[in-house]
Amino acid sequence: MKVVKRTERGWAGHFICAHYCRFRRNTLLTCGRTKVIISSVGAMYTKEESAIQTIGCERYYETMVFLAEKEGPYIDIAVTKELKFDSPWSINAKKWQDLPDDVDNKANNIHEAVVAEMTGKLGRGEKLKRIWED
């Protein structure tokens, strides 16, 4: 098993409106020269709205995975290199009132499950598959 280093980072990893999201996770996994970022966002509140807003079609939280690249002093998401994974990735509801009371905990559990899945794949040396790859 290869060594996988995990680094928690304090900023949103993806989503153009992430600055409106109260839930943000950004985890960098490094294994040799391969770098992967697991990014989760949700609980979006815009200035005009007093209730949580969707970030996609009936989606209030989401987790995505990307290869990462070093640019200057930072290691950041390579937005054209989104990776596939098997774990659940979103929390959906018809309306925000249908979300569970502990929705942030559920979103955190989803993020952790994806981190565990990707750590396992990196540690086993599996080939990572990109979303838009043939």
Q: Could you tell me the two tokens for 70?
A: 């070093």
* Domain range list for the chain: 5-123
Quick one: what percent of the chain has pLDDT higher than 70?
Answer: 99
Residue 133 has pLDDT above 80, yes or no: no
> What's the mean per-residue pLDDT of the chain?
94
Give the separation between CA 104 and CA 90, rounded to whole angstroms: 12
Contact 83, 38 (CB under 8 A): no
Q: What is the pLDDT of residues 22-78, one digit of tens each?
A: 999 999 999 999 999 999 999 999 878 788 999 999 999 999 999 999 989 999 999
Give the separation between CA 40 and CA 27, rounded to whole angstroms: 9
Q: What is the pLDDT of residues 4-33, one digit of tens each?
A: 999 999 888 889 889 999 999 999 999 999
At 107 the pLDDT is 98
At 47 the pLDDT is 78
At 134 the pLDDT is 56
Residue with token string 């900023």 = 11
At 12 the pLDDT is 87
Q: What is the pLDDT of residues 96-112, one digit of tens each?
A: 999 999 999 999 999 99
